[in-house]
Amino acid sequence: MKVIASISEMTRFSENLRRQDQTIAFVPTMGYLHEGHVALMREGKKKADHLVVSIFVNPAQFGPSEDFSTYPRAVEQDLEKCRTIGAAAVFTPGSADIYPPGFQTYVALEKLPLHLCGLSRPQFFRGVATVVTKLFNIVNPHFALFGEKDYQQLAIIRQLVIDLNFDIEIIGVPIVREPDGLAKSSRNKYLTQKQRPHALLLHHCIQAAEKMVKDGETDARKIEDAAIQILLSCPDITVDYVSICDPVTLDGVTGIQEKSLMAVAVWLGKIRLIDNQILFLPNKNV
């Protein structure tokens, strides 16, 4: 497995594979790899001849008061995981390579970021779209894999490849969870023993919503309110949003559609946690 820090070397590596008619699957990450990332990598291995993983904690997607400096990092462990899975290369650029002095060109979508996480993190998706565009240009993969855990990010990347004419197939991978249902996340490392059961309320409030829909409730507000009550049963939780929305446009809906997205974000102390699930109208789900 090659560990490549230089942009030109990464590009040459991909060009070389493409010249030999070999296909490349790409998994961009911020490192501190867990089973969620591993699921993306395994899927990538199935899809293409070679897997390329990037590890880059992207400063452009963190707000000034967010956790860029304390975001967990463990490069050596990450490389070992990539090696075990059989990645062909891991791209580990430095911040100054991706954002050299004078950098001023950003990629920003007009509508999709105006929902969900974009409301409380106004620069976040501009940072994501910019770094993913740059990584796509550098790695030039045939496939790129993203987790459904970050549903809005996946929707944005799907739109971005259409709008910017990237010839890359975007593959969404289902959320990987802990045995009790908590969505795996690099930030879970910061949960204290006391906070850990409270984090599970995200999953519980989505399960409660699913049950309400199964029992015939179609009023999105009522379902959102019930979910908020579940979350607020923990005094340490601050709700960012609970939203039932259209799974493509992310526009809020008043009534449950055949297929609706339920997305939730909270702060538990200083830790931001998100989760989501598609809600299906009962008779359409069989």
Contact indicator for 201, 265 with CB cutoff of 8 Å: no
Does the footprint of ligand AMP cover residue 135 (CB under 6 A)?
no
Q: Which is nearer to ligand AMP, 38 or 119 (CB)?
A: 38
Does the footprint of ligand AMP cover residue 30 (CB under 6 A)?
yes
Does the footprint of ligand AMP cover residue 160 (CB under 6 A)?
no
**How far is 105 from 99, CA to CA, in rounded Å?**
10
Residue nearest to ligand AMP as judged by C-beta position: 147
Residue 37 annotated as catalytic: yes
Q: How far is the CB of 21 from ligand AMP (least distance, A)?
A: 27
CB atoms within 10 A of CB 31: 21
Does the footprint of ligand AMP cover residue 272 (CB under 6 A)?
no
**How far is 176 from 12, CA to CA, in rounded Å?**
33
Across the beta sheet with 24-29, the strand order is 2-4, 89-91, 50-55, 24-29, 143-147, 169-173
Does the footprint of ligand AMP cover residue 185 (CB under 6 A)?
yes
Q: Which of 37, 50, 198, 203 is catalytic?
A: 37
CB atoms within 10 A of CB 1: 16
Q: Which is nearer to ligand AMP, 149 or 198 (CB)?
A: 149
Binding site for ligand AMP (CB under 6 A): 29-30, 36-37, 39-40, 146-147, 149-150, 173, 175-176, 183-186
